[in-house]
Amino acid sequence: MHAEPTSPSNTYTRIAIVTGASSGIGEATARKFISDGYGVVGTARNSAKLSALETELGAGFCGIAGDIAEMAIVDSLFDAALERFGRPVDLVVANAGRGLGGSVLEVDLSKFEEVLKLNVTATLALLQNAAARMVDQQIDEFPRRAADIVVIGSVVGRNISPFSAVYGATKFAVHALTEGLRREIGPKGVRVSLVEPGILISGFQEAAGYSDKMVEDFTSRFGPLLYGEDVANAIAFMVSQPPHVQISDLMIRPTRQDYP
């Protein structure tokens, strides 16, 4: 996968980066953006899935395989967007992340370090890179054009979860970074928004080590659960607002999910 030049830059209404684009919320968001006429650079570690998405979605989607926790990948996403679509990124969805089941007493510290690097450090690196570029762009563009950074948090980043308290700690950190960045660059014309999904159907639970029984309990207690498309629709609504309007925080749950 590489960024071959395609059609002129004015073909696309916006140019977006979506991390974790090979499944779940990330894939659904990339698909939604493509359907809305955006050019999308999607990244994930699953190169085969990204190649399949390139074939299916066409010239509007550029897949970049790699681990977002590796700093060199972050720069490559912005470079690929400029090369492929002919103009800079004005929308970033920081979605890549990993769950981790278990309580504070039981969590595997080595696994926690991996999740901390991906969920917090890599997200911070992406936010810094995106913010620096967008602030410069908005000097001349705001309020004629919007620039958005959307961060995927979690309901467990606001409420302590009985089944993933340590994972939730990484999302509490992400929420703090998002609000801190909003205060820093909102006055400079860049919108920074947080989306906090509840329980949804994806590969997230398996990767987090949740048992089949736990997932069955989620479905029984809270179902019907969310799908990635539900969150993607919410993101699309947020970023489609006029440039002077910001939805800074949006929590989206299955209707029957009472907690967390």
Q: What amino acid positions are annotated as catalytic residues?
A: 167
In this structure, the number of other CB atoms found within 10 A of the CB of residue 106 comes to 9
Q: Which residues pair with 200 in a beta bridge?
A: 226
Cα four-point dihedral sign 160, 165, 169, 170: negative
CA distance to 39, 65, 252, per residue, from 153 (Å): 24, 23, 11
In this structure, the number of other CB atoms found within 10 A of the CB of residue 143 comes to 11
